[in-house]
Structure 1
């Protein structure tokens, strides 16, 4: 899932203002920090709109629609009359605002004042039934756009927090956590088909060997190679194949040589279902069938459609495993729940080894972007990357201010 971030306003459009600061400058800080936070969740983030450029409404919305993103987050800061304060998220009138609500819930945990999640319909008779805010209205339905108002910059209390690097870090982390929960976590007690796996491949291999010692555990790796292309949870997809094939024993009507790991098209002894020439093709057909239920987009570019039953599925009709009840299997009562329960059993019975864990790269410091830009501009003479959290000496401050003074004199 690609996410594009818009740093609201820019160029000749400064946005709101408060206590001598323009909104476009504050927005850019938040947008850049948010991009880093989302990338730390291994999300595909488009940062092409993180700049101080002016875009007309048509140009901006066209760029968003052409980005290939599914979600757009437009970063803003509010202003009213100095009395209002708090965090808000605005979503389309055509959506339930699930991602907006999750973001607000995560922000509430920071103890920053929150106001509301809301949508607003256009008041123009010519736009009846459409959204009020053009960036939401003119990108729908290609892209789901939300506007995040981090706070009221003309409110003294909010402004003090909004310009504090600690709170900037907290608030952007909360937004990223809300988005991550929207994409990858369970909602309303159900388990999404798309998202990140919980189990490590070695846990599944250990479980498979314990039940069926002669099984080819390499199938697990194939699931983990292909499922992420479709944003399908590889662990649950493989566990579904375990459920359908009796731990790859193929004791039902489907036989091993069919490479049909999900019983696609199998209805009985007289119809054993689809055949696939390779294990990889069979696994991808299984993943594609799950994708047909979970998503509405076309299959990823460059992939071959192996699932001959793909077009028989009502697209997007089952975004969770529990929604597959009565769809994948008839009557299917408890079908999805059993697969999710298998995940819990494997997680508890085959704990992950420390050696299985990948090395986690260090996250980017929130101030590194500003540090690097100051160095590129020649305003900061030395590299301070290793000391970004340490207080600046008077000498560093004097040099930075003096360089700014000289730059301002050159501009004159």
Structure 2
């Protein structure tokens, strides 16, 4: 199923305004949550979005792109406004469609699912001659998720948990309407434990636990026997969702503890796996969020985050963490080391000293491509996908699959580099914090 997801307005067009918030921000957040749920939880779903950041996109650009892509369904997310007194949820299909049309059937299903969870007055199912409903060749629906100038509805919009429920309601409707299949739950019985250090001395473990407590992070000390030796392990949380464990890992690292890691335990098999952030995976931060963060440190930084996002997505590499690695290597694109900016070498490929500043690439995009390909060599044993030529001059020098996580790059990418991966993850954690703070500032929300 190919879904074209359209967060309304954006860029120079804020949409509806009220109660200190803008429609373009609210609907983008809901749409990104819809995409995340669909891609993470469902099989055989493709999502294309009219915008993933605060950019200006015309109505014709939205419908032309959906039509040329061959989308199966067009879903446009909006908020309403009137005079401060109106409130509630409503959705629209095109005015020339009958109640027996397939599009009307999809509307029936999605309307029912969204109104079950959104805590809004149900204003009904409607029809209109909106551009995105008229000019799309596939079934299309436009949802109006509350009135932004109404104090009741706006208070809900400011709540991230409400936006998540609304996103889930849309997904529930799409699941039923298109018979989407959920991915098999491979993590039943899996617990992700954040370990903030392991010590042979209980006093040292207790000191680490006390440090965490002083930073507002709860922890316990567990005793484990490894190869006949007793160790005292400081545990800073246990989670059933890996993303939550990763967030706690970042908090622990921000507290000054760089030797923290995640243990994956399966209660069904008694298997234990120690890991950090995987190099392979989905890119979460947008190019705008990445570029904005770097410019808070280096206002003259060139914008290359779009290449990390696009190429990371193509190769299945965490493009946002790769971007953090580039910022670490280049001193936030100031190039204060032996590599010069003209080389477009953002990860120090081949650089060994003043007499050998490493590889050079023709364009910034080619330099990012080489970086992503080099990470792919470390993280995967699969053949390199064929869309792009191999531009990494050191690809064949890597022991394929020898580093599946960023911390496993220690001593490989940087020598001795005992905290190399941790430094990258610490920088990535700061990028996440900045992105969350900026979103809260935009929405006027304190979580």
What TM-score do the two structures reach when normalised by structure 1? 0.44
Structure index of larger Rg: 1
